[in-house]
Amino acid sequence: MVLIAPSILSADFSRLKEEIKALEQAGADMIHLDVMDGHFVPNLTFGALVVKAIRKCTKLPLDVHLMVKNPKKMLEWFRDGGADILTVHAESSSNLEALIDQIKGYGLKAGVALNPSTDEQVIQKVLNKTDIIMVMSVNPGFGGQSFMPATLDKIKRIKKMIKKRNILIEVDGGINSLNAKDCVLAGADILVAGTAVFKGGNYQKNIESLR
């Protein structure tokens, strides 16, 4: 069954603990945390202290997506903050393999994210070490963007690259009940959704709609 990872960027931050609990009760499989540094992407969100606070609120896996210019120096911060999955962008480092090794050395699951314009061949050399490939279906940095249909072919190509490796494909950006099925049919295992989960306030109904 496809896993649903609500992005808390769409949550009410004035009552974040209650929002996390509501997502847990609504059937979320993990919590997706978009960390932006204002350099790698133009937006700025939150750091390891917020992740650490959320860790105290839930037993769900914390899926930390690092949209940052220098992930190497930050990995330890988010490990200590309670992350279960650390995903770094292929575009953020000239030594992607070293980042993956560092994350795996912490005993965490390692993910690699690809921007829409990034060719999937860049992940070929780290496939034997990676747990998750995150396919960005919007340009990273802002929520509420529309899904890019070309992502579906990219998912299919990555699925072929993976072959029998135990790697999950995660899709992030513009996911809703209209395109979720297409993503899963293309090969997606995890769907990240912000607006689609939080809209209207009925989180359980929205999550079930995505499934």
- CA separation for the pair 161, 88 (Å, rounded): 19
137 CB contacts (<8 Å, ≥6 apart)?
A: 116, 147, 148, 151, 171, 172, 173, 174, 175, 183
Concerning whether 34 is annotated as a catalytic residue, the answer is yes
- CA separation for the pair 119, 202 (Å, rounded): 37
Point out the catalytic residue in the list 29, 34, 63, 131: 34
Which segments of 82-181 are extended strands (E)?
Answer: 85-89, 109-114, 132-136, 168-172
Point out the catalytic residue in the list 37, 63, 131, 172: 172
Amino acid at 107: G
Rounded to 5°, the CA angle 147-151-154 comes to 170
- CA separation for the pair 32, 206 (Å, rounded): 16
- CA separation for the pair 17, 172 (Å, rounded): 23
Nearest residue to 133 (alpha-carbon basis) of 81, 76, 90: 90
Concerning whether 172 is annotated as a catalytic residue, the answer is yes
Query: Alpha carbon of 130 to those of 27, 58, 77, 108, 162: distances in Å?
Result: 26, 25, 20, 11, 10
Q: Looking at the annotation, which residues are catalytic?
A: 34, 172
